[in-house]
Amino acid sequence: MKEEVTAIINQIRPMLNADGGDVELIDITDDGTVKVKLLGACGHCPMSTMTLKMGIEKTLKERVPGVKEVVAV
C-alpha cells in the first residue's frame, strides 16, 4: 500500500507546489490511516483542512484500496 500511496501523493504534489506548499508521507497504520505532514504554505494555510480532506484524502480513498482516513501530524 505504501508504494501506491506514495505514487498518488507524487501526482498531487505539483498542485500543492504551485501554491507554495508540499506534503510529506509520515506513516501508514495497519488500520488504513495515512499520516502526512503539510509543509510550506500548506502548513499554515486556513484552507489546509479542506486540502487535506477534500483533496488528498478523497483522492487516496478513491484510488488506493484500504485507505480509511488521512490525518495531518
Over pLDDT 70: what percentage of the chain? 100
Q: How far apart are the first and last CA of the chain?
A: 19
Mean pLDDT of 11-19: 93
Q: What is the pTM of this model?
A: 0.91
Edge to edge, what strands does the sheet with 21-28 contain? 21-28, 33-40, 69-72
The CATH superfamily holding the domain 2-72 is Fe-S cluster assembly (FSCA) (3.30.300.130)
Residue 7: exposure state from Cβ atoms within 10 A (0-12, 13-18, ≥19): exposed
* pLDDT given at position 43: 83
d(CA 35, CA 24): 9
pLDDT confidence of residue 44: 82
| Whether the Cβ atoms of residue 72 and residue 36 lie closer than 8 Å to each other | yes
